[in-house]
Amino acid sequence: MKQRALLLALSVALGACSESAESPARAPLIYVDAVAAAGGSGAADSPFSTVAAAVASAQAGDTIVLAAGTYPEAIRLEEGHGIAEVRGAGPDLTLISPDAGRGVIVVGGKVTISSLMVTGAESAGLSGRDVELLLRDVHVQATQRVDRAGDGNGGGHGVQVTDAKSVELIRCQLSNNHGAGLMISGVGLVTLDDPDTTTMPADAADGSRNPGFAPASVVSHNKGGGVAIVNPPAASAGSAHFVVRRTLIEGNDGFGLASYGVGGEVHASAVIGTRRPPSADYADGVSLLEGVDPAAAATVVVAATTLLADNEAAGARVAGHGHLRIAGVLRGNHKGGAWAVGPAATLSVEASALLVANKGIGAGAAAGAMLWVQGARIGATEAVYAVAPTGGIPELIADGVVIASGARARIADANLSDNQDAGLLLIEPALLAGGFVDVQVKGCTFGASEVGIAVNVLAAGQVSAAQAAGWQADNTFVGVKKAVALDTKLNTQRIPGPK
């Protein structure tokens, strides 16, 4: 009897397994074609005609596949959607062009958007919140500002992500948007990269731009700036970070890459041609500024393989409690190569750095900032006319390093040659006791300049003869008219640092 019951149970179980095996598995791909007839099922041979229909039918883990064509609607992946990926046929083939509003909206989950273009959206081309977001081969362009609140903040950003764990952009192009190309706020990890690019942005010998550098990761010609990374997440302020690799950031208005209280790295990339907006006076290539917590410290590294060139303000600038480390090439920037401004700001120019042909100064520190230079070359600074904020006669400035307005410096083993005025100019630097200024210079080469080390008349009497003699003994001066000058009239109108 027990044996019959056991056989019956086994038979029922096998039958259930057989029925389960014969049930068709649900396909994880949902197909959409903008020119398909209405009423499709989402199968490959019966696609939906709208993205909205595909999203409505999707289950957790599904991928929506968009055929080539133009979709006049937004892609809305709201909280709890569970969709794994939305994939187009290519950024030149699949176009998301909504009649109004944002192009792609992603809230929650871990999502990939790939191989499509968003064009002509309003406020944000693609926006994300509370998400792990991967964008691969996505182009976003011509996003428009819409000031519905009347506060002048109408967005217009290409990609905007807030309060999220991570956002990664691989071979993405964000261009000609009316806001910033990429606007990030409160995101733990931000990455931009083109892993297929092997060409470096600058010539290794003289730092000139390599015309062969043309990565597919591009942020260009956006009217509201290039890349803005604003404030780390409140819960993980110490771990927030950004990494920019093999990316071209070019021709943006106002800033190329601006970090507000978030540390990061820039490798094998170019930040070039940042333009001054019509109503403002800022156009730095890379800037590290105060975030929501003014006392929070952050470090940004511009690696040896990176080029910051031809920006209409400084190539790089640091303020607040930031530490900016320069190891790359800064060339042809209109308001100096690199600046540190403010008593808690630190600028480090490292041995591999090449700061050449910048206008006015190569590197500078002002308003109590700290400058470290170790083994770098800072030279061939081009003369530019400058006027003090209080007015006066414009005067030519062409100095390698400038330490001004209570700033401090440690300069060792650097080449500060071929600067028209001074290799190193001091204008009211920080003072120490006993007739010394807080500037150490040792093992450096000064050549082909009017003066090697110049102390401006504004600082007359601040530098003792003993300190001046030490500078002269500890450094090499070749082809300069005067090694150390303690009362030069170079740049008597003060250099306040970039605005």
Residue 498's pLDDT is 53
Residue found under tokens 């995101």: 187
124-133, 150-159, 336-345, 474-483: range with lowest mean pLDDT: 150-159
At 464, the pLDDT band (50, 70, 90 cuts) reads confident
Residue 147's pLDDT is 72
Mean of pLDDT over the chain = 88
11-20, 329-338, 442-451: range with lowest mean pLDDT: 11-20
**In angstroms, rounded to a whole number, what is the distance separating the alpha carbons of residues 477 and 52?**
72
**In angstroms, rounded to a whole number, what is the distance separating the alpha carbons of residues 226 and 220?**
7
Residue 290's pLDDT is 87
On whether the CB atoms of residues 322 and 288 are closer than 8 A, the answer is yes
Please give the average per-residue pLDDT across 469-488, as a whole number. Answer: 92
Residue 92: closest CA among 75, 117, 65, 114:
117
**In angstroms, rounded to a whole number, what is the distance separating the alpha carbons of residues 290 and 156?**
24
Residue 252: closest CA among 232, 230, 280, 231:
280
Please give the average per-residue pLDDT across 142-152, as a whole number. Answer: 74
Residue 50 CB: number of other CB atoms within 10 A? Answer: 18
Q: For residue 1, what are its two tokens? A: 């009897």
Residue 148's pLDDT is 62
**In angstroms, rounded to a whole number, what is the distance separating the alpha carbons of residues 399 and 13?**
87
Residue 76's pLDDT is 95
Length, in residues, of the chain: 499
| Higher per-residue confidence, 395 vs 59 | 59
Phi (first) and psi of residue 466, to 5 degrees: -65, -40
On whether the CB atoms of residues 199 and 213 are closer than 8 A, the answer is yes
How does pLDDT run across 361-385, given as a tens digit for each residue?
999 999 999 999 999 999 999 998 8
**In angstroms, rounded to a whole number, what is the distance separating the alpha carbons of residues 97 and 118?**
6
What residues contact residue 297 under an 8 Å CB cut-off, 6+ apart?
Answer: 321, 322, 323
pLDDT at 151 over 90: no
Residue 124 CB: number of other CB atoms within 10 A? Answer: 26
Residue 81's pLDDT is 87
Q: For residue 52, what are its two tokens? A: 């909205």
Residue 267's pLDDT is 98
The burial class, CB within 10 Å (0-12 / 13-18 / 19+), for 196 is exposed
- Antiparallel, parallel or unpaired: β 218-220 and 173-175: parallel
Residue 245's pLDDT is 98
- Antiparallel, parallel or unpaired: β 75-77 and 29-32: unpaired
Q: For residue 98, what are its two tokens? A: 């909504």
**In angstroms, rounded to a whole number, what is the distance separating the alpha carbons of residues 301 and 293?**
21
Residue 141: closest CA among 194, 220, 64:
220
Residue 66 CB: number of other CB atoms within 10 A? Answer: 27
On whether the CB atoms of residues 326 and 347 are closer than 8 A, the answer is yes
| Higher per-residue confidence, 459 vs 474 | 474
How does pLDDT run across 216-254, given as a tens digit for each residue?
999 999 999 999 998 776 655 456 799 999 999 999 999
101-110, 314-323, 452-461, 473-482: range with lowest mean pLDDT: 452-461
- Antiparallel, parallel or unpaired: β 284-289 and 124-129: unpaired
Q: What sign for the dihedral angle of Cα 147, 148, 152, 153?
A: negative
pLDDT at 23 over 70: no
What residues contact residue 183 under an 8 Å CB cut-off, 6+ apart?
Answer: 124, 157, 159, 160, 161, 228, 230
How does pLDDT run across 86-145, given as a tens digit for each residue?
999 999 999 999 998 999 999 999 999 999 999 999 999 999 999 999 999 999 999 999
Residue 441's pLDDT is 98
Cross-strand partners of 270: 248, 307
Radius of gyration of the chain (CA): 29
At 278, the pLDDT band (50, 70, 90 cuts) reads confident
On whether the CB atoms of residues 101 and 122 are closer than 8 A, the answer is yes
115-124, 345-354, 454-463: range with lowest mean pLDDT: 454-463
202-206, 283-287, 492-496: range with lowest mean pLDDT: 492-496
Residue 493's pLDDT is 46
CA angle at residue 12 from 11 to 13, to 5 degrees? 90
Q: How would DSSP label each residue in 30-54?
A: EEE-TTSPTT--SBTTB-BSSHHHH
pLDDT at 438 over 60: yes
Q: For residue 468, what are its two tokens? A: 């001046």
